[in-house]
Amino acid sequence: MAMKRVAASALRAFTSSGNSTSSLLTRHLHASPGSKKIVGVFYDAKEYAAKNPNFLGCTENALAIRQWLESQGHQYIVTSDKEGPYCELEKHIPDLHVLITTPFHPAYVTAERIKKAKNLQLLLTAGIGSDHVDLKAAADAGLTVAEVTGSNVVSVAEDELMRILILVRNFVPGHHQVITGDWNVAGIAYRAYDLEGKTVGTVGAGRIGRLLLQRLKPFNCNLLYHDRLKMDPELENQIGAKFEEDLDKMLPKCDIIVINMPLTEKTRGMFNKDRIAKLKKGVLIVNNARAAIMDTQAVVDGCSSGQIGGYSGDVWNPQPAPKDHPWRYMPNQAMTPHISGTTIDAQIRYAAGVKDMLDRYFKGEDFPPQHYIVKDGELASQYR
């Protein structure tokens, strides 16, 4: 049973630490099999909530699991208020059992919050990417962290392809001309190119990176990828991508760089001033992964100097981005709010995945192995 394994993990942590008053031991061995308090943190849809019955990822529709949960005697609290000591989420931290949040409006689960959450057992990400959780603190506390792996990989890969084309064709300034009543073809054409024949490199070639490469193949690009794992030779040949073991040798070859890696302590700030300076002048960068992989000011400076010819993505640090975030105002950017992985199709998939995992949790059953980010005190390999 999953609960027994969690308790055993907590017991091992207790005995190895030598701490005779471990809160971990109390937390897990005294977990009740009865009614649970579940808190969901999502973005507000307001007037848009009723416009589509499948718009599930907002506070108003709350993954469409309220009736199901409450019919089983569980308490379901939903909010978008997640920041600061007096926010709605903070009120429920001490006695919640399960926290559901999304990468699009993340509840930042710090070590301090984990320490306060005496009843917390399970952290679920409705989507992909659990770096809003202090994963080490979660592992040390014996918590389970899981996400709906695969739920929005198609959505993100399609969005990345769109952003590549938007940057290559210099689309945003042209669209802006239409809105403002201007007409200046030269102001767009002088830096608009074809995608065909360009070298595109993805930093990370997991589920999303591979889908992107497959979608780029018909454009007759030169495709490169860097990853900790090399693809199966048959798949690599089918896609037509070349493996680059040395990241710093791959990057200067690229006309377009796409970031497709998780945020970890190793990748945080990876694209700093020095690394950006070594890229091909005028390089285009797409980042739907995590903003903190980039040095914020280095990206601004690169776009301002022309070292970066264009930057597009939908991830910010923090999220939601404050009004004075410098990426909002830097030149040659095509930024959006965090939307790539929250299409309606993706919402249907990650809502179903969350419901399935909650059902398994109530029954004491394991999740599908690929969904675990932290299990029995161990982090998934991509976060190590």
Q: Which residues are catalytic?
A: 152, 290, 319, 338
> Is 373 annotated as belonging to a binding site?
no
> Is 128 annotated as belonging to a binding site?
yes
> Is 285 annotated as belonging to a binding site?
no
> Is 309 annotated as belonging to a binding site?
no
> Is 264 annotated as belonging to a binding site?
yes
> Is 100 annotated as belonging to a binding site?
no
Q: Is 363 helix (H, G, I), strand (E, B) or coil?
A: helix
> Is 339 annotated as belonging to a binding site?
yes
Q: Are 203 and 179 in contact (CB under 8 A)?
A: no
**Phi and psi based region of residue 14 (left: phi greater than 0; alpha: psi -120 to 50; beta: remaining):** alpha
Other CB atoms within 10 Å distance of the CB of residue 325: 18
> Where do the DSSP E strands lie in the chain?
37-41, 75-79, 98-101, 122-125, 144-147, 199-203, 222-226, 241-243, 256-259, 283-287, 308-313, 372-375, 378-379
CA distances 126 to 107, 185, 196, 282, Å, are: 12, 43, 36, 36
> Is 376 annotated as belonging to a binding site?
no
Q: Which of 272, 278, 317 is nearest to 299 (CA)?
A: 272
> Is 266 annotated as belonging to a binding site?
yes
Q: Give the Cα separation of 124 and 372 in Å (integer).
A: 9
Q: Which of 19, 372, 368, 97 is nearest to 10 (CA)?
A: 19
> Is 244 annotated as belonging to a binding site?
no
Q: Which of 85, 95, 146 is nearest to 120 (CA)?
A: 95
Q: Are 289 and 315 in contact (CB under 8 A)?
A: yes
> Is 256 annotated as belonging to a binding site?
no
Q: CB within 8 A of 29, min separation 6: which ones?
A: 7, 10, 11
Q: Are 104 and 132 in contact (CB under 8 A)?
A: no
> Is 260 annotated as belonging to a binding site?
no
Q: Is 373 helix (H, G, I), strand (E, B) or coil?
A: strand
> Is 26 annotated as belonging to a binding site?
no
> Is 226 annotated as belonging to a binding site?
no
Q: How many CA atoms lie within 13 A of 212 on its CB side?
A: 33
Q: Are 361 and 38 in contact (CB under 8 A)?
A: no
Q: CB within 8 A of 356, min separation 6: which ones?
A: none
- Residues that constitute the known binding site for substrate: 128, 152
Binding positions for NAD(+) are 207-208, 227, 262-266, 288, 314, 338-341
Residues in the annotated binding site: 128, 152, 207-208, 227, 262-266, 288, 314, 338-341
